[in-house]
A and B are shown apart, each in its own frame.
Chain A
Amino acid sequence: MSDLLSRIIKTLDGVLESGARASARRHGRRSALTRIGGLLVGGAAAMALPFDRAYGAQAAGKGSEGNDKSCDYWRYCALDGFLCTTMGGSKTSCPVGAEASVVTWVGTCQNPGDNRSYLISYYDCCGKTPYTGAQFCLRSEGERPGYNMGLYNDINWCVANANKGYHCTVALVVGVAS
């Protein structure tokens, strides 16, 4: 049985590693991902500010720990954008008709459910206008300026897509951070 377990773990590690490598490749430089373990303390105290990258600011909802439509949801610790969960998508899927971004920034967020720190990949969904009534969030735990591009949430991450209009953002677990 330890074989099965180790295979499961290896698979997870493999995905994490290849994810980090892919990100590094896409960013065309040494990825900041490799340094994340020691860099970030994880999103212990979730901060939810009424922020604005493009449109009117929205007050963050008083969501529960498990409410993925709320800015204080644990995965959103470095998310700057509209939540796809409030626009017909989910936390891992773009709304219908949008284009999945091919590059991404990442954060390291602590899941209060298992006290693990996860590497979260924030993919933008592209090619359409946002819904202005959607939930806009800005949290920047572990966020860094553009010289650490893989951690930077101030650019339009539809930049490498055919269609560059910013629609909304998802938050995928790509691995365990530590």
Chain B
Amino acid sequence: MRQSSLNENEALTTALPSPEMVREQKIYRTFGLTDAEYARAVELLAREPNYVETGIFSVMWSEHCSYKSSRKVLRRFPTQGPQVLQGPGENAGIVDIGDGLAVAFKIESHNHPTAIEPYQGAATGVGGIIRDVFTMGARPIALLNSLRFGELDHAHTRYLFAESVAGIGGYGNCIGIPTVGGEVVFDNRYQQNPLVNAMCVGIMTHDQIATGSASGVGNPVLIVGARTGRDGIHGATFASAEDPHAKERSAVQVGDPFMEKLLLEACLELIATGQVVGIQDMGAAGLTSSSAEMASRAGSGLTLDVALVPCRETGMNPYEIMLSESQERMLVVMRQGAEEVAKKIFEKWDLQATVIGRVTDDGMLRVLEGGVVAAEIPVSALVDEAPLLDRLALRPAYLDELREDAPVLAQPSDFVAELAELLARPTIASKQWVYDQYDSMVRTETFVRPGSDAAVVGIPGTKKAIALVTDGNGRQVYLDPYEGGLRAVAEAARNLVCSGARPLAVTDCLNYGNPEKPEVFYQFERSVDGLATACEALQTPVISGNVSLYNESNGVDIYPTPVIGMVGLIEDRERIVTSEWKMPGDEIYVVGALSHALLAGVGGSEYLALRQPDASLKYRLPTFDLEQEVRLQQYLLACAQQGLLQSAHDVSDGGLLVTFAESAITGGRGAEVQFDFAVQREGRAIESDELLSLFFGEGVSLVVITAKPESAGALSRLANEHQVALTRVGVVASTPFLRVSVDRQLYVHADIWQLQAAWRGAIASWMKH
């Protein structure tokens, strides 16, 4: 197979620096390889790597591709369960939803590109995650996005936010996959490092599952889709660079959603022929990582000739072709002799499918340029021998300085004004300005559009539907990495349950600062412990995910921000539950320990951040009761499945009053709500702290549900069975007023249309600036 020696190659092919120059001038450092890593590469090769090989090592061993900081920690996640058909390790995870059907999903970050070219950065993030899903043989049916930006009073933040949203919409709308949900949080901690995490969900039959494995000696390897240009060379390396602007050195990729739509259709048609051995999308580190990973999974080798790769630009050398991050490309291994099948299908879609190499059995990734060897590296050296770090983790001092007592906050004289102000905070306000820019309805299966606790999408040809959500709360994870981790998973699952869905599995996007700082690494480890524990308890294994580190600028790290993407199953689409209040006369209940809600305080809450911004990082997060949470969720699910719920909405950002207000606004209905603590308190009057904790605290898992009066008996029987606290607190009114009193004293008497104005218009009015 080997056609010429490496020395000849140097002379013959390119004018790239020699291996000696790479060593002597320490060129590897500019690629992001450390001295020790370079030495290790020399050892593994038993010679000095040439320029191309050095480039290949550097991207494969970058944080982005090798997960060298995080890999060990990620092993703590539970990944198994009867529903799991494909766990982590492939392009996307897959869970069974019965009837021979399965759902594939994954979430991925595109934070660094977005910081410097928000439209294209966000757009190509969406493009990448869609490829991950259709690579598995699944038809993408829904997208979600989880976003973090600085505060909107900053012009540059508004630019980043507006362009990112436009880019996400631009890609998803064009390709015809509905964007059905997500979240947006605004906090100055993200001003320099916005987070854009995109999630894609696809549907498939069990027999369509494709994987990214290059097996079968002699099988042809094809590159399909877009031509290769000099886009984003070394993007993977720079994604791990401290300063996102360092990435400017490499070109940012421009996405072509039209091309991807064709690629998607062509690939699904190709996979359906049964002639595909393996298929993998080309994301970070392009041809290099896709080929190495495919060979590694099969324990095989690959020989590729870059001269056969269709290029967009002239004069591209092997280094550039191997490292290009041009979008909308895939690597496909076909059965021998089936090349024509691929070519025919791709021709119909006006796309190229070009054989560029073969599968071998010698475990080598061999790159030729017109038959001449340009690089030759054992696949195992790139993948299995990639560095694995034991980063130092140190408990940050700030955690021990957090105060346990309640912050001193004056009791507001006007709770309605307080509530309106909270509702107008961009993090809490309606995200309609965002999701109206997304086509959330294409495919005509979106039963619950953005705006409820979770989105719900129908499964054609069945009675089933799936519920989808992303959730994360960086400030809470910062205040308590472990408990914050628990909460992130619990909240995602709770949102699914509130829509009537049984949570199935998790995909996670772990966004953190610089892992070389022991304090940041501690946050990472401890929060993963929290996430893992909650996933275990809620029986939602992690089936796919993504890690984004080095979200840091000028020495300031973002909050540790794990984002949880979760999918749940609704067996009967007639049993979907939404969050808006429905009928006057429906009874309102709070599920969960209300008595604790009085005492848990406002630590970690949006309310504290609003009232005392300086104190918002100084008070402890209330502790979280995971067992209680599990029972609460099982109870809600049982209620939903028996059709007892008219609405359900969990208490999250902003606390209980915000939850009431949102259900009132979206339902266009007021309510009469009365809490009665007098008896249990033996007449002692409620204190100001307790009132604030009840109204604005975010410490205790609570869900507000409404039900028809005749359901009362069944609801409380089930509550006894599941040992959860259920308190009837009021009724949905026929007037548009939300009235809330505690121990017979009226605190809130709000016109819901006024609340609506505050809530609905807030982001739009910022964006008019």
Q: Do A and B bind?
A: no
List residues of B whose CB falls within 8 A of some A CB. none
List residues of A whose CB falls within 8 A of some B CB. none
